[in-house]
């Protein structure tokens, strides 16, 4: 594998093991030069803490892109996570169209919803903007809730394979090229990921750990991108990311003081082993 420079665009939560504080070390451990474009800086993430500071960097994004253009800096892949507004999405689309190398991949985690609901602060206008970004990407990594918002399908807590197949059909009909649908479980004790690439669909199932942890979506997406850019297929990258995320959760459960994220750092040796298999 040639040495690659990739770009990830999402916020920095200075404490909380999510977004860029997860993406940067995981991608770097994957052997990738990782450039970042922060969309905002928060003192800590917003789940469980009683308060936080927030600095919006929306207007810095085009200025940074202009400087990259002057320096002729481009990227082998561009991976987006949490974006704070429709305006940021427009800036991201511009960066993707201008700074990606020929043959590179745009990878979008449409981080905007879970458990049947949009995250606070998002509305229909944001969903419409995210649709344009997601359906123009090479790979998307939605959870079931996000896939429902992208397609207009009804969100169901209990579902079968027919429902999941219809959801992925609608995603591809709207323009999605490769779909990695996360959090798909047909029994209470199992979950997994469905990958559809080039009209071939595969499912990887693994044990579901009851105690969910904040930031695991960012851990998963970052590990997926790391594996993909190391030459693994979309399915194999999805499997590696799932196994790594489970290991991160196992390293964390039992520590009541570590409620705000997963101890992914302790599992990085496992990720490196998985990448090199």
pLDDT, tens digit (0-9, with 9 covering 90-100), for 80-90:
999 999 999 99
Section 83-111 average pLDDT: 96
Domains of the chain: 5-276 (3.40.1190.20)
pLDDT, tens digit (0-9, with 9 covering 90-100), for 170-188:
999 999 999 999 999 999 8
> What was the pLDDT predicted at 162?
98
Q: Contact at 8 Å (CB) between 20 and 37?
A: no
What percent of the chain is predicted at pLDDT more than 70? 99
> What was the pLDDT predicted at 209?
83
Q: Burial of 105 by CB count in 10 Å (0-12 exposed, 13-18 middle, 19+ buried)?
A: buried
- The phi, psi pair for 18, rounded to 5°, reads -155, 175
CA 82/CA 178 separation, integer angstroms? 20
> Predicted confidence band at 211 (pLDDT cuts at 50, 70, 90)?
low
H/E stretch holding 127: helix 124-134
Partners of residue 37 on adjacent β-strands? 9
């Amino acid at each position: 594998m040639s040495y690659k420079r990739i770009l990830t665009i999402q916020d920095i939560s200075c404490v909380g093991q999510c977004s860029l504080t997860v993406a940067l070390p995981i991608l770097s451990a994957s052997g990738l030069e990782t450039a970042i474009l922060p969309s905002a800086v928060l003192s800590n993430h917003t789940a469980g803490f009683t308060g936080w500071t927030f600095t919006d960097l929306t207007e810095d994004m085009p200025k940074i892109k202009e400087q990259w253009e002057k320096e002729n800096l481009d990227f082998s892949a561009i991976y987006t996570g949490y974006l704070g507004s429709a305006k940021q999405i427009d800036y991201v689309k511009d960066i993707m169209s201008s700074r990606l190398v020929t043959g590179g991949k745009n990878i979008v985690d449409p981080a905007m919803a879970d458990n049947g609901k949009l995250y606070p602060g998002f509305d229909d206008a944001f969903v419409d903007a995210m649709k344009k970004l997601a359906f123009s990407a090479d790979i998307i990594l939605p959870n079931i809730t996000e896939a429902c918002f992208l397609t207009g399908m009804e969100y169901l807590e209990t579902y079968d394979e027919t429902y999941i197949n219809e959801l992925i059909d609608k995603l591809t009909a709207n323009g999605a090229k490769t779909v990695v649908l996360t959090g798909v479980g047909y029994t209470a004790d199992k979950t997994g990921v469905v990958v559809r690439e080039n009209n071939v669909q595969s499912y990887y199932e693994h044990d579901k750990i009851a105690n969910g942890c904040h930031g695991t979506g960012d851990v998963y997406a970052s590990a997926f991108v790391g594996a993909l850019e190391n030459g693994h297929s979309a399915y194999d990258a999805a499997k590696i990311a799932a196994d790594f995320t489970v290991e991160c959760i196992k390293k964390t459960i039992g520590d009541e003081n570590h409620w705000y994220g997963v101890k992914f750092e302790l599992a990085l040796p496992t990720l490196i082993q998985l990448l090199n298999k």
